[in-house]
Amino acid sequence: MAKDASNGQNHVTTKPPPEPSPLRKAKFFQANMRILVTGGAGFIGSHLVDKLMQNEKNEVIVVDNYFTGSKDNLSQWIGHPRFELKRHDITEPLLIEVDQIYHLACPASPIFYKYNPVKTIKTNVIGTLNMLGLAKRVGARILLTSTSEVYGDPLVHPQDETYWGNVNPIGVRSCYDEGKRVAETLMFDYHRQHGIEIRIARIFNTYGPRMNIDDGRVVSNFIAQAIRDEPLTVQLPGTQTRSFCYVSDMVDGLIRLMEGDNAGPINIGNPGEFTMLELAETVKEMINPAVKIITVENTPDDPRQRKPDITKAKELLGWEPKVKLRDGLPLMEDDFRKRIGIPRK
């Protein structure tokens, strides 16, 4: 019998997960912790790799198919003796030996996850099954980066982890929302049935340097538009809200969750809530007061409100975000100006 880390219940498991390779306990073994990051060439993944690599006891392996990620995000680590980068699509099985798996691989921007919805589902379902199979085979702990989108267009505000959500199962966002919901289900079933150690983070909108300039998400769009003197495109009605977390806070939360004792799911996000019109006004004021703000059509099923209740993260992880939106935006502006090639006037 294995104990369910989330609620203390006992469940029958088929057999306990295996011990890691005996070599890992050998006297001359160099690294103490071998960590796999799926999707590590992406936005959050590459910042997570930076942080993990700062610990000299970690050896980090990234697998990525470069759909929305790039080797450029990891250029500082390529060739480092404790780092390995492998082109791999997680919808195919992966046979390696690791102690921990941060499972991030999945396109996150609505434009990209809707581009090939069947592939997005496969990545979430088959990809997560493959990573759980790997975790089971080698006895690794696995963390899934789930999303606030599991709450859909929430009828409860702010959202805490007990809320089951309001999700359209057949809409254009479902490949992602429902994909992540199934991924969460798979995580808990592997935990209950096979005793796998799981962690689930429900990430709320995250922003920062290294986001793709043409990523399509709202913060990257507004910053790139402001720098290029293009109108800021607020999708109607503009009163919809989001809560934006700076990437360094997010990475800190993910590592605390992985290292802690709680399976989750745990919301990780910044509770500061803004309408999209307020966000546009803030970007305009801070980056380019001369720029216009225009309204444009929205896409179907856009959630009308979103704000995390982070009581659980505070109590169980001792985590809360430190970087306010007005402090994070200039850091992202610096990075975007460098990459777009337009310096501050």
Ligand X SMILES: NC(=O)c1ccc[n+]([C@@H]2O[C@H](COP(=O)([O-])OP(=O)(O)OC[C@H]3O[C@@H](n4cnc5c(N)ncnc54)[C@H](O)[C@@H]3O)[C@@H](O)[C@H]2O)c1
Cβ proximity of 37 and 60 under 8 Å: yes
Q: Which residues contact 232 (CB under 8 A, 6 or more apart)?
A: 221, 222, 225, 226, 280, 283, 284, 291, 292, 293, 294
289-327 per-residue burial string, b: 16 or more CB within 10 A, e: under 16: eebebebeeeeebebebbbbbbebbeeebebebebebee
> What three-state secondary structure class fits 176?
helix
By CB under 6 A, residue 191 contacts ligand UDX: no
Q: Which is nearer to ligand X, 41 or 291 (CB)?
A: 41
Cβ proximity of 94 and 71 under 8 Å: no
Q: Which is nearer to ligand X, 94 or 138 (CB)?
A: 94
Enumerate binding residues for ligand X (CB under 6 A): 39, 41-45, 64-69, 89-91, 104-108, 123, 127, 145, 147, 203, 205-206
By CB under 6 A, residue 148 contacts ligand UDX: yes
State the nearest-atom distance from the C-beta of 273 to ligand X, in Å.
15
Q: Which member of 74, 105, 108, 254 binds ligand UDX (CB under 6 A)?
A: 108
State the nearest-atom distance from the C-beta of 109 to ligand UDX, in Å.
5
Q: Which residues contact 285 (CB under 8 A, 6 or more apart)?
A: none
218 binds, among ligand UDX, ligand X, none (CB under 5 to 8 A by kind): ligand UDX
**Beta-bridge partner residues of 141:** 100
Q: Which is nearer to ligand UDX, 94 or 131 (CB)?
A: 131
State the nearest-atom distance from the C-beta of 21 to ligand X, in Å.
25
Which span (213-221, 253-261, 265-273, 284-292) binds ligand UDX, by CB under 6 A? Answer: 213-221
Report d(CA 68, CA 85) in Å as an integer: 16
By CB under 6 A, residue 217 contacts ligand UDX: yes
Of 112, 47, 108, 68, the closest CA to residue 328 belongs to: 47
State the nearest-atom distance from the C-beta of 14 to ligand X, in Å.
28
240 binds, among ligand X, ligand UDX, none (CB under 5 to 8 A by kind): ligand UDX
State the nearest-atom distance from the C-beta of 44 to ligand UDX, in Å.
9
163 among known catalytic residues: no
174 binds, among ligand UDX, ligand X, none (CB under 5 to 8 A by kind): none
By CB under 6 A, residue 110 contacts ligand UDX: yes
Q: What is the DSSP string of 195-232?
A: ---EEEEEE--EE-TT--TT---HHHHHHHHHHTTPPE
Structure tokens at 115: 């581009």
From residue 283 to residue 302, what is the string marking binding to ligand UDX with x (rule CB under 6 A)?
A: ---------------x---x
Residue of 102, 113, 151, 176 marked catalytic: 176
By CB under 6 A, residue 221 contacts ligand UDX: yes
State the nearest-atom distance from the C-beta of 227 to ligand UDX, in Å.
14
Strands (E), the chain: 2-3, 10-11, 33-38, 58-64, 83-87, 100-103, 141-147, 198-203, 206-207, 232-235, 241-243, 245-246, 266-268, 273-275, 293-296
Residues 299-318 binding ligand UDX (CB under 6 A) are 302
Report d(CA 219, CA 311) in Å as an integer: 25
Catalytic residues: 176
Residue numbers at the binding site for ligand UDX (CB under 6 A): 108-110, 147-149, 205, 217-218, 221, 233-235, 240, 242, 276, 298, 302
